[in-house]
């Protein structure tokens, strides 16, 4: 009997964040897929912003809104308190820096990967059409590099983003960067050695391996071959 249910789809990087956190604290959970193209009413009730994931703590509530937390960042705060996980740093400054990196990864990086690279490749595939390579390459070559540059600099001389420990900041960045590996390549390791080293380090964490296996199987049904954008 598990205490938690994760509602979402494995291919979402935000679901990946939540699964990585749950694996880190050793919490077992059930996974319930949600149709994100036509969300059922019961899901909209617990996620009024119509976003995934939602986490349910069944020790608090087993149906309806009670026991649910919507949004991956809110879920992380809940799990941090629930398990005293230690993924938000050792002092106030580190907690603030972790929250900032998570926000930047969840917004600027996520939106650029999602809208400029992921969707132009994946969405046409659902209709049996070729990818929009012109748009995807423009996103790859013009819009992503300034964001990658920031994280590359932030990781200079460091294994992790904040302090000397794995944190929610690393989970958030790894969740978005690993999304690229489902459909294309990672950026040039010669140009972004710190970012690529970090991405591979985080992707090797058990929660990431488990999620990416599921996500790869799901997307592999429509995206038969990864697209080279380099």
Q: 30 — phi, psi (to 5°)?
A: -95, 155
Question: pLDDT tens digits, residue range 105-133?
Answer: 999 999 999 999 999 999 998 888 899 99
Evaluate whether residue 228 is within a structural domain.
Answer: no
Residue 36's Cβ-count burial label (10 Å; 0-12, 13-18, 19+) is middle
Q: What is the pLDDT of residue 216?
A: 93
Domain match, 126 and 58 both:
no
Q: What is the predicted pLDDT for the residue at 221?
A: 78
For residue 203, give the CATH number of its domain.
1.20.1050.10
The domain total for the chain is 2
- With 0-12 / 13-18 / 19 or more C-beta atoms within 10 angstroms meaning exposed / middle / buried, residue 124 is middle
Q: Is 96 a domain residue?
A: yes
The reply to whether 139 and 208 lie within a common domain is yes
pTM of the model: 0.96
| Residue 112 near residue 176 (C-beta atoms within 8 A) | no
Q: pLDDT for 59-111, tens place per residue?
A: 999 999 999 999 999 999 999 999 999 999 999 999 999 999 999 999 999 99
Please indicate, yes or no, whether residues 67 and 103 belong to a single structural domain of this protein. Answer: no
On whether both 61 and 145 belong to a single domain, the answer is no
Residue 62 lies in a domain: yes
Q: Which residue has the tokens 């790894």?
A: 174
In a domain, 224, yes or no: no
């Amino acid at each position: 009997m598990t205490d938690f249910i994760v509602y979402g789809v494995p291919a979402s990087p935000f679901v990946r964040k939540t699964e990585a956190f749950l694996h880190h604290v050793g919490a077992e959970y059930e996974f319930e897929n949600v149709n994100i193209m036509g969300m059922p009413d019961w899901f909209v009730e617990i996620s009024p912003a119509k976003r995934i994931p939602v986490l349910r703590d069944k020790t608090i509530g087993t149906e309806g809104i009670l026991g649910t937390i919507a949004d991956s960042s809110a879920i992380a705060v809940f799990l941090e308190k629930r398990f005293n996980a230690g993924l938000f740093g050792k002092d106030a400054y580190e907690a603030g820096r972790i929250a900032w990196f998570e926000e930047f990864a969840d917004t600027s990086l996520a939106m650029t990967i999602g809208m400029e690279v992921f969707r132009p490749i994946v969405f046409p595939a659902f209709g049996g059409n070729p990818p929009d390579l012109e748009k995807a390459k423009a996103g790859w070559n013009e819009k992503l590099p300034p964001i990658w540059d920031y994280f590359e600099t932030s990781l200079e001389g460091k294994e992790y983003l904040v302090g000397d420990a794995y944190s929610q900041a690393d989970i958030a960045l790894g969740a978005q960067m690993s999304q690229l590996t489902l459909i294309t390549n990672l950026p040039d390791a010669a140009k972004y050695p710190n970012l690529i080293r970090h991405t591979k380090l985080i992707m090797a964490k058990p929660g990431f391996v488990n999620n990416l296996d599921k996500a790869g199987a799901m997307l592999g049904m429509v995206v038969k071959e990864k697209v080279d954008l380099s």
